[in-house]
Amino acid sequence: MRSKAGSATRALRVLLRILITGVYLTLCALFIQLSSPGLRVADLNDIRQKGRLTVITRNNAHCYYHYRDQPMGFEYDLAKAFARELGVRLDVHIADRWEVFIPHLLDGEGQAIVAASLTDTPQRRRRVAFSEGYLTIRQHLIMHRRNKAIRKVADLAGHTVHVRRGTSYQERIEDLQRQGLAVELQLHPDVPTEELIRRVAAREIELTVADSHIAKLNRRYYPEVRVGPAIHREERLAWAVHPHAPRMRGRINRFFRRIKADGTFDKLYARYFAEIERFDYLDVRAFHRRLRRRLPRYEKIIRAAAEQHGFDWRLIAAQIYQESHLKPKARSHAGAHGLMQLTWDTARSLGVKNILDPKENINAGVRHLKRLYDHFDRAQGVDRLHIALAAYNIGQGHIFDARNLARRKQLDPNRWSSLAETLPLLRFRKYYQDSKYGYCRGTEPIHYIRQIMVYYDILKRRDIEYRVAEPRGQSSRFKVQG
């Protein structure tokens, strides 16, 4: 018995030594990791002390690009807002390929985040940590409108889908292949989703894949494509952080919760993806066709008038299209004339001699819009522009009434969202009987502005500037004040 008890005691001592040794080695490894400059992961205090946050992103139409020499993009605007909240400068790193996102992030020692419309997938989660999702999406097949062969995912058998290498699109098609679907996958080294959608529209390739918000937005630019069936369940877009940076992840999560609660997120989203659910194929196709045929005749006049009064010429072109479809002799049932649909009273007040002369009509119309814009100087930014456009459409008086009604409802009269709520009420006697200017077709300016901004977005898309990435395996770096 004593021998057995002694053996048990010795075994217990050996086991205890092993446990102590394991704990010691773990603590040593942790100490080395934290003390080694090459392995240490930065925390939020380090980032604040250095005054710089690095965002790794892509140079495309929904992440980061330049328009009129200004940095823009949905992901860029979100990252800029986050850097501003931290009180640091934003450095933008452009990854030249999707495959380098995670290596660049891990090399950044916790001082970088990936903000690039990145889908949170189990495969990626093995290497990085993701924030809470900020946008829910589904991946859809994209095909030409005349393609009637693909109505459900099972119809992909025998067809080829083209996607960019290294994306979650590739993962999803490979999942379908593993499930036994005989679909071919053609990988492209670094072709943007928008370019693959263009190739579908041109019938150069048959099928590609895009996230729902990107797919719907690109219908404007390429009306010949159709958004087909979803190939996977709902997923979420999220920012990626270093796996050993929990404080950064928590700080990002709080940021997203705040901007969703106070409306900032919706405002930024609307800047790039407003009205994407609405799509009128015939209208958008006609717009593209008329741009090619009619706009060149008047573009020089529009550019000169817009520059003189401080407007983007593409906005003026979009407004002219909404007013007259670029027809110089257009006349409305209300007696408005020409490209910018001037009334005789407005034309005379602006010194117009020939209301149907394209140059006179455009110059007078832009001057009139500038007067309205200057008048509503208490509004700011896009709100001011939208209020001026609404006044151009239905007259200053009805805007005054809508602003007064907004005040009575304790809404900000200098926000377009307030007037978009009160203008439609002026159709009803209950509201217009006490207004100075009476009945108003208050839904008209809302539709008017909505259409102009869609046309404006299409025109801007032609002039988005993309930076050329540096040699493969590297990335371009831009420092942007946050």
Phi, psi of 328 (to 5 degrees): -70, -20
- In angstroms, the CA 277 to CA 266 distance is 15
- In angstroms, the CA 419 to CA 443 distance is 11
- Catalytic-role residue among 194, 206, 235, 323: 323
Residues 246 and 129: beta-carbon distance below 8 Å: yes
The label of the residue with tokens 């983007």 reads 312
CA-nearest of 181, 188, 187, 137 to 158 is 181
323 carries an active-site annotation: yes
Residues 231 and 179: beta-carbon distance below 8 Å: no
Sequence-ordered list of residues with C-beta below 8 angstroms from that of 249, at least 6 positions apart, any chain: 129, 130, 131, 241
- In angstroms, the CA 375 to CA 357 distance is 27
- In angstroms, the CA 420 to CA 430 distance is 18
Phi, psi of 440 (to 5 degrees): -145, 135
CA-nearest of 177, 217, 228 to 193 is 217
Active site residues: 323
